[in-house]
Amino acid sequence: MRYDSVDYERRGTTALITLDEPSKLNALSPGIRAGLTAAFAAARDDDDVRVLVVTGAGEKAFCAGADISGFEFTTRYAREFIDKVLDVLALPENIGKPVIAAVNGFAYGGGFEIAIACDFIIASERARFAVPEIQLGLLPGFAIVRLAELVGRQRAKYLSMLGEPVSAQEAKEMGLVLEVVPHADLLTTALALADKIASKPQMAIRYAKSVYNRELGGADITYAKDVMPFLFLDDDTREGVAAFREKRKPVFR
């Protein structure tokens, strides 16, 4: 089954959700965002689905982040964009069933944030992780309120302020990734973990997720939605986005 730009497949008790715009590095296009929303709703409403696995199509990218080709520099546009995107990024947190990210390549920006919103990350040895928004004069709207809890305040600042990618092994050492596996074994490993989780008592599994996630998705997300749009008014953001579109190095002033 296909929802917009996302493939949805039932494999036993697992819903396999694949972001499928590899020519665009599975960036968070309207089709990817709509497809993810529909796929998560389908998995939520299917009583036979116990675990979700999210991955990316193609050999290069899990998800390369936001599609900035249509960015507009107004607070109204920014607020509407951030509202929509943050709600999609938080889907893995907010569904009551466990979600595994099978990260097959680049997980940058919004792709990084989808991955860390999942309960577990299994990464290919080829995977790379980054929050590169600083290169555009921006900050990651979702990771800015999640990353410190996962890797500590100092590492979170380092990743957000430099925007440089880290390898799958480095991400594991930080505590972002549960397991790094050979690329050919990625999906098999993720599905095997899904089967193990599915074999456990489901009420206990869902309660465990609810308890561990009980403080997520509250005032911190609302704060990010309120504050982030103002970055779109900064001259450095205009320069960063223009430089990205023109494939040149930005000059921040």
pLDDT tens-place string over residues 227-244: 677 777 788 887 887 777
Return the exposure string of 202-229: e unless at least 16 CB atoms fall within 10 Å of the residue's CB, then b.
beebeeebeeeeeeebeeebeebbeebb
Q: Would you say residue 101 has pLDDT above 90?
A: yes
The helix (run of H) or strand (run of E) holding residue 240 is helix 235-246
Q: What is the pLDDT of residues 189-219, one digit of tens each?
A: 999 999 999 999 999 999 999 998 876 656 6
Q: Would you say residue 246 has pLDDT above 90?
A: no
Q: Would you say residue 74 has pLDDT above 90?
A: no
What is the residue-averaged pLDDT of the chain? 91
**Which domains are seen in the chain, by residue range?**
2-184 (3.90.226.10)
0.85 exceeded by the pTM?
Answer: yes
Q: Is 133 a catalytic residue?
A: yes
Report the alpha-carbon distance of residue 218 to residue 205 in Å, rounded: 22
Instruction: Provide the pLDDT for residue 250.
Output: 86
Q: Is 179 a catalytic residue?
A: no
Report the alpha-carbon distance of residue 103 to residue 85 in Å, rounded: 20
More confident residue, 15 or 227: 15
Please pick, among 113, 125, 173, 179, the residue that the annotation labels catalytic.
113
CB 100 within 8 A of CB 53: yes
Please pick, among 80, 93, 133, 215, the residue that the annotation labels catalytic.
133
Q: Is 132 exposed, middle or buried (0-12, 13-18, 19+ CB in 10 A)?
A: buried
Alpha helices in 90-146 (DSSP H): 91-94, 110-117
Q: What is the pLDDT of residues 105-114, one digit of tens each?
A: 999 999 999 9
